[in-house]
Amino acid sequence: MLLFVHFPPVTGPKQETEALRREIARHDRLYYGLGAPEISDLEYDRLYRRLQALEAEYPDLITPDSPTQRLGDTLSAGFAAVQHPFPMLSLQNSYNEEDLREFHRRVVTGLDGEAPEYSCELKFDGVSLLLTYENGVLTRAATRGDGQQGDDITANIRTIRGLPLRLEGPKIPGTVYVRGEVYMRTGDFLAFNEEQVAEGRKPLANPRNTVAGSLKLLDPSLVARRPLRVVCYAYDADDKSVQTHSYGLIRLSEFGLPISDQSRVVSTVDDVIAYWKEWEGKRDTLPFEIDGAVVKVNALSHQRLLGLTARAPRWALACKFSARQAQARLLDVSFQVGRTGVLTPVAELEPVPLGGVTVKRATLHNFDEIRRLDLREGDTVVLERGGDVIPKITGVVAEHRRRGAKPIVEPATCPVCGSPLERATGEVALRCTNPRDPEVIKRQIEHFVSRGALDIGGFGSETINALVDQQLITDAGDLYSLKLAQLLALPGFAQKSAENLLDALNVSKSAALDRLIFALGVRFVGESTARTLATHYGDLDLLAKAKPDELASLPDVGPRVAQAIHEYFASDVWRSLHNKLLRAGVKLHDDTPVERGDKLQGLSIVVTGTLERYSREEIERVILLQGGKSVGSVSRKTSFVVAGEKAGSKLEKALSLGVPVLSELEFDQLLAGKRKL
Ligand code: IVH
């Protein structure tokens, strides 16, 4: 008889997946935390794919903290509001040495004359975050919000590979709260911005705004492509081993969380000032933006004695840096022409380094600004740069002015096309009156294809400039008659990219009406007004015929906007574009049927959560066409709230204010006259 003896394998799939997870987490930490990878990307991918393969074969072995689960399956509409376990406080600010010494005096008084130890840290210029780890596993990430309540952005934060999904190390408390900052390195931000511009989108002003925008994305797979990082700076847990803030930071790093290596414990206020000054001088040597230093009383017992105010702890202070300054000589004033013809004067400067970037140009905003500065030819100007990449001109160095230097005069004609300029009453902006100005056309087409408008990917500014300069197109309507051969003749196009562009143009022909209206670039008509117009008229030809009085009676459309809309649709620019859009088969109407009435006359309605029968646009349209107004936030004046699935803070607010809440069904019943409010 044969005996089959079952020996457990030395490493089964369970052990192997666990080992792989630990290994991948270690490499993530080496790569993102320490910037010192031990293996190549290829080797990393091999580990990752092996883990994916094992998990595909043994789905029971998948755990939420597996690196393969960073992308989860959450595609939520909006973010749920979460109540913080404790208020997420802010920091008191100080701007000079005296403020800091005053803070120190208050602390010493609060500690009955005892001088404390301080932990000095960098003040990261990003977006504040609260992480919760339960039994070692990341269960929640929330934004600060109003300090009491924030947005649940767990799905987005899980995509950040530098942040462990599971803590490691000894004696992990059951619940660990971590405060930190999401940030982006300056180099990553600049590269991201270049990509933005190449894709025909507007560049972002600074890394912080880019991070904030990234965290608001509703699709975590898009967030995963943003180079986001996290740095942790506060630990809160039931952990007897931790008696000081600085040891809390060490615990965070033992858990595998990224912390800063620039923190320093000091024992005098002079040392705090020295730390602050040192980093003010060295801030540009860091690969990320900081806007100051933070000083915290180190002993937790001292922190408890000092306590908190409603807004900020009494044991911490943000010591802000002053804006970085430089001086540069003005070489010339040039002009940028925007899509509505507005001329923006730009100072062309002798290149000067300022906070890690070389500045060659700075906007002067408008001619009033030039007069305010009393700017003259050849002047030396003072430049300031805060967190933004673009600096501001804040003054002129009077001593360096050459005698007899001529003032910068306002041009009488457009520097691009020579047409007369106008200044509308009450406006500071100078505008070129020629709708066929080539710069105006380029900017309008850029707007037409941009993301919020028809979102025709693949049209960078360079392509648009080339098409207009070569006179292949004279307005956005001509885009639809572009031929493959014409695109292939442009720099940077290959068969595939040219075909993709033509496909994208085709797709854009059936875009939603509000996007098309926004894409037209009518003065003062932003995305929200475009939505109102699309909802109300449902048809571009109807909108084009609307009288100013009628337009002005719509929500968010005042007489000035109504006049601009009316003028646009009476212009030759529209007539020509209209013909081209018609010929190309661009859809000029909305698909949803129009039913007007007064069933919601005068009511102010908030819609929240995910609805089943209506998209957000559809229900807003119904509300508007029935005489109601769809508003964004709940107040005592709200007539009622329509709440769908996953309704969050707005629903709670309505309930607390006693504002009636209707389900989608009840809303339909109200419209059908089967229910009263
Ligand atoms: S501690 C209870 N430490 O600055 C104190 N905050 O202006 C919690 N920040 O909301 C904050 N670097 O987003 C702390 N090393 C640091 C920081 C830091 C940046 C941010 C944080 C906070 C804001 C206050």
> For residue 575, what is the domain's CATH number?
1.10.150.20
Q: Are 161 and 32 in contact (CB under 8 A)?
A: yes
For residue 167 the two structure tokens come to: 């803590």
At which of 533, 552, 584 does a domain end?
584
Q: What share of the chain is helix, strand, coil (3-state, %, to 5)?
A: 40, 20, 40
Distance from C-alpha of 306 to C-alpha of 111, rounded to nearest angstrom: 7
Q: Could you tell me the residue range of the domain that residue 31 belongs to?
A: 13-69
Q: Are 203 and 54 members of one domain?
A: no
CATH (domain of 640): 3.40.50.10190
In the residue annotation, 547 being an active-site residue is answered as no
Cα of 169 from ligand 1 centre, angstroms: 26
Q: Are 315 and 275 members of one domain?
A: yes
Banded pLDDT at 2 (limits 50, 70, 90): very low
What residue type is assigned to position 40 of the chain?
Answer: S
Least confident of 70-74, 190-194, 207-211, 541-545: 70-74
Q: Are strands 290-297 and 316-320 parallel, antiparallel or unpaired?
A: antiparallel
Task: Indicate the top mutation candidate among 86, 120, 233 to test ligand 1's pocket, ranked by most ligand atoms within 8 A of CB.
Answer: 233
SS3 per-residue string spanning 378-389: CCEEEEEECCCC
Distance from C-alpha of 414 to C-alpha of 422, rounded to nearest angstrom: 10
Least confident of 161-165, 240-244, 621-625, 637-641: 621-625
At which of 474, 493, 508 does a domain end?
508
Index of the ligand 1 atom closest to the CA of residue 181: 13
Helix (H) / strand (E) element for 549: namely: helix 548-552
Q: What is the mean pLDDT of residues 428-449?
A: 93
pLDDT tops 50 at residue 241: yes
Q: Are 313 and 447 members of one domain?
A: no
Cα of 449 from ligand 1 centre, angstroms: 39
Q: Are 407 and 375 in contact (CB under 8 A)?
A: yes
At which of 268, 285, 320 does a domain end?
320
Distance from C-alpha of 112 to C-alpha of 108, rounded to nearest angstrom: 6
Cα of 78 from ligand 1 centre, angstroms: 26
Average pLDDT, the chain: 90
Burial (CB < 10 A; 0-12, 13-18, 19+), residue 382, is: middle
Q: Are 106 and 314 in contact (CB under 8 A)?
A: yes
- Selection from 250, 248, 293 nearest residue 272 by Cα: 293
Index of the ligand 1 atom closest to the CA of residue 234: 1
Q: Are 133 and 280 members of one domain?
A: yes
Residues in the chain: 677
The protein residue whose alpha carbon is closest to atom 22 in ligand 1 is 90
Ligand 1 pocket list (CB less than 6 A):
89-91, 121, 123-124, 128, 144, 179, 181, 233-234, 294, 313, 316, 318
Cα of 77 from ligand 1 centre, angstroms: 29
Helix (H) / strand (E) element for 501: namely: helix 495-508
Cα of 3 from ligand 1 centre, angstroms: 67
Asked if residue 433 is part of any domain, the answer here is no
Asked if residue 649 is part of any domain, the answer here is yes
Cα of 359 from ligand 1 centre, angstroms: 30
Burial (CB < 10 A; 0-12, 13-18, 19+), residue 170, is: exposed
236 φ, ψ (degrees, to nearest 5): -140, 110
Q: Are 383 and 394 in contact (CB under 8 A)?
A: yes
The protein residue whose alpha carbon is closest to atom 6 in ligand 1 is 123
Q: Which residue has the tokens 């000589």?
A: 329
Per-residue model confidence (pLDDT) at position 491: 87
What residue type is assigned to position 489 of the chain?
Answer: A
Per-residue model confidence (pLDDT) at position 592: 67
Per-residue model confidence (pLDDT) at position 598: 87
Distance from C-alpha of 423 to C-alpha of 367, rounded to nearest angstrom: 11
Per-residue model confidence (pLDDT) at position 121: 98
Q: Among 123, 296, 442, 580, which one carries the catalytic annotation?
A: 123
Per-residue model confidence (pLDDT) at position 594: 60
Q: What is the mean pLDDT of residues 359-386?
A: 92
Per-residue model confidence (pLDDT) at position 485: 95
Q: Are 405 and 455 members of one domain?
A: no
The protein residue whose alpha carbon is closest to atom 23 in ligand 1 is 90
Q: Are 648 and 76 in contact (CB under 8 A)?
A: no
Burial (CB < 10 A; 0-12, 13-18, 19+), residue 233, is: buried
| pLDDT tens sequence across 393-424 | 999 999 999 999 999 989 999 999 999 999 87
The total of other beta-carbon atoms located within 10 Å of residue 342's CB is 19
Cα of 104 from ligand 1 centre, angstroms: 18
Task: Indicate the top mutation candidate among 88, 95, 124, 208 to test ligand 1's pocket, ranked by most ligand atoms within 8 A of CB.
Answer: 124
Q: What is the mean pLDDT of residues 249-278?
A: 97
Q: Are 235 and 247 in contact (CB under 8 A)?
A: no
Per-residue model confidence (pLDDT) at position 28: 82
Q: Are 152 and 191 members of one domain?
A: yes
Cα of 216 from ligand 1 centre, angstroms: 20
**List of long-range contacts for 607-610, beta carbons under 8 Å, 24+ apart:** 607/641, 607/642, 607/644, 608/641, 608/642, 608/643, 608/644, 608/647, 608/648, 608/650, 608/651, 609/78, 609/643, 609/644, 609/645, 609/646, 609/647, 609/648, 609/651, 610/77, 610/78, 610/644, 610/645, 610/646
More confident residue, 677 or 463: 463
Banded pLDDT at 505 (limits 50, 70, 90): very high
In DSSP notation, 554-600 reads STT--HHHHHHHHHHHHSHHHHHHHHHHHHHT---B-SSPP----TT
Task: Indicate the top mutation candidate among 93, 179, 275, 279 to test ligand 1's pocket, ranked by most ligand atoms within 8 A of CB.
Answer: 179
Q: Are 174 and 109 members of one domain?
A: yes
Index of the ligand 1 atom closest to the CA of residue 129: 13
Banded pLDDT at 386 (limits 50, 70, 90): confident
The protein residue whose alpha carbon is closest to atom 2 in ligand 1 is 89
CATH (domain of 312): 3.30.470.30
The protein residue whose alpha carbon is closest to atom 12 in ligand 1 is 123
Cα of 177 from ligand 1 centre, angstroms: 15
Q: Are 648 and 81 in contact (CB under 8 A)?
A: yes
| pLDDT tens sequence across 150-189 | 999 999 999 999 999 999 998 999 999 999 999 999 999 9
Index of the ligand 1 atom closest to the CA of residue 318: 7
Per-residue model confidence (pLDDT) at position 34: 67
Cα of 123 from ligand 1 centre, angstroms: 6
Q: How many helices (H) and strands (E) does the chain have?
A: 24, 22
Percent of the chain with pLDDT over 70: 96
Distance from C-alpha of 325 to C-alpha of 356, rounded to nearest angstrom: 12
Asked if residue 676 is part of any domain, the answer here is no
Per-residue model confidence (pLDDT) at position 68: 80
Asked if residue 75 is part of any domain, the answer here is no
pLDDT tops 80 at residue 5: no
Task: Indicate the top mutation candidate among 128, 259, 321 to test ligand 1's pocket, ranked by most ligand atoms within 8 A of CB.
Answer: 128
Q: Which residues contact 188 (CB under 8 A, 6 or more apart)?
A: 207, 227
| pLDDT tens sequence across 89-103 | 999 999 999 999 999
pLDDT tops 80 at residue 354: yes
Distance of CA 176 to the CA centre of its chain: 28
Instruction: Walk across the sheet containing 640-643 and list its strands.
Output: 629-630, 604-608, 640-643, 661-662
3-state class (DSSP) for residue 640:
strand
Distance from C-alpha of 462 to C-alpha of 200, rounded to nearest angstrom: 9
Q: Are 338 and 237 members of one domain?
A: no
HSE-CB for 264 with a 13 A CA cutoff: 15
Distance from C-alpha of 86 to C-alpha of 556, rounded to nearest angstrom: 39
SS3 per-residue string spanning 394-442: EEECHHHCCCCCCECCCCCECCCCCCEEECCCCCCCEEECCCCCHHHHH
pTM: 0.68
Distance from C-alpha of 333 to C-alpha of 314, rounded to nearest angstrom: 49
Index of the ligand 1 atom closest to the CA of residue 123: 12
Index of the ligand 1 atom closest to the CA of residue 144: 10
pLDDT tops 70 at residue 32: yes
Q: Which residues contact 45 (CB under 8 A, 6 or more apart)?
A: none
Cross-strand bridge partners of residue 539: 589
Q: Are 483 and 577 members of one domain?
A: no
Q: What is the mean pLDDT of residues 299-316?
A: 96
- Selection from 123, 486, 44, 49 nearest residue 296 by Cα: 123
Banded pLDDT at 263 (limits 50, 70, 90): very high
Asked if residue 595 is part of any domain, the answer here is no
Q: What is the mean pLDDT of residues 340-365?
A: 90
Per-residue model confidence (pLDDT) at position 373: 93
Cα of 167 from ligand 1 centre, angstroms: 22
What residue type is assigned to position 475 of the chain?
Answer: D
Q: Are strands 640-643 and 629-630 parallel, antiparallel or unpaired?
A: unpaired
Asked if residue 543 is part of any domain, the answer here is yes
Percent of the chain with pLDDT over 90: 65
Task: Indicate the top mutation candidate among 95, 294, 300, 306 to test ligand 1's pocket, ranked by most ligand atoms within 8 A of CB.
Answer: 294
For residue 141 the two structure tokens come to: 């990430």
Q: Are 387 and 532 members of one domain?
A: no
83 φ, ψ (degrees, to nearest 5): -80, 130
Write the CA distances from 471 to 468, 579, 592, 672, integer angstroms.
5, 19, 38, 55
Q: What is the mean pLDDT of residues 457-486?
A: 93
Asked if residue 6 is part of any domain, the answer here is no
Asked if residue 384 is part of any domain, the answer here is yes
Per-residue model confidence (pLDDT) at position 572: 94
The protein residue whose alpha carbon is closest to atom 16 in ligand 1 is 123
Write the CA distances from 126 to 118, 123, 164, 213, 287, integer angstroms.
23, 9, 19, 11, 13
The protein residue whose alpha carbon is closest to atom 10 in ligand 1 is 90
The torsion of the CA quartet 281, 285, 291, 296, rounded to 10 degrees, works out to -80
The protein residue whose alpha carbon is closest to atom 13 in ligand 1 is 128
Per-residue model confidence (pLDDT) at position 327: 96
Index of the ligand 1 atom closest to the CA of residue 122: 15
Domain count, the chain: 6
Q: Are 382 and 397 in contact (CB under 8 A)?
A: yes
CATH (domain of 64): 1.10.287.610
Q: Are 124 and 166 members of one domain?
A: yes
pLDDT tops 60 at residue 248: yes
Index of the ligand 1 atom closest to the CA of residue 313: 2
Helix (H) / strand (E) element for 460: namely: none
The protein residue whose alpha carbon is closest to atom 17 in ligand 1 is 123
Q: Are 56 and 181 members of one domain?
A: no
